[in-house]
Amino acid sequence: MIAILDYDAGNIKSVEKAVHYLGEEAVITRDKDLILSCDKVILPGVGSFGDAMGKLREYKLDQVIYDVVDAGTPFLGICLGLQLLYKTSEESPGATGLGILDGEILRIPDAPDLKVPQIGWNSLDITPGAKLFAGVEEHPYVYFVHSYYLKSKDEADVAARTHYSVEIHASVEKGNVFACQFHPEKSSTVGLKILDNFIHL
């Protein structure tokens, strides 16, 4: 069973449908005991960094996330769910994120002929041996919707990169913590393979 954390964020249903399509049970919940009993946990996210952290704290899901990570349960952050794993974001000065991983969440700089937010498909450069991308073709295209991006402090955490005005750390892996800036649930067969890899960790 996979717990999908419910904190009033968007795209939760599409994540649930993708997990069900892959043959795995999923539950959308904010119940602490149920979350801690699940085999894996997904933190989806659409919206702003500060508002999302406010909701996580309102529902006391921040502490549940720390408990999940400390227990060694595989944990996947998607889109804003990746950004929330870090301590701060330029999107919400003064707001404090989870601080589980070390890096910066920065605004994508303006560049000629590029619109911010990045909305659409972009290719990835995958780090050899990255668990989420086992069996995925080289330079796969995945679907992004974001104005802010990760610059990881530790290069060893970076599982995939893309380029849009700047180099973007598009996926990270550290221990039992995994995250993607892109939306695997909206990234066709490649995204389903990535989710399937997470399910079968």
Q: Which residues are catalytic?
A: 79, 183, 185
d(CA 6, CA 12): 8
Torsional sign, CA 64, 200, 176, 19:
negative
Question: Is there a contact between 153 and 103 (Cβ–Cβ < 8 Å)?
Answer: yes
Task: Give strand pairing partners of 185.
Answer: none
Closest CA to 187 of 7, 16, 4, 18: 18
Q: What is the amino acid identity at position 84?
A: L
CB 76 within 8 A of CB 114: no
CB contact set of 107 (below 8 Å; sequence gap of 6+): 90, 91, 116, 147, 148, 149
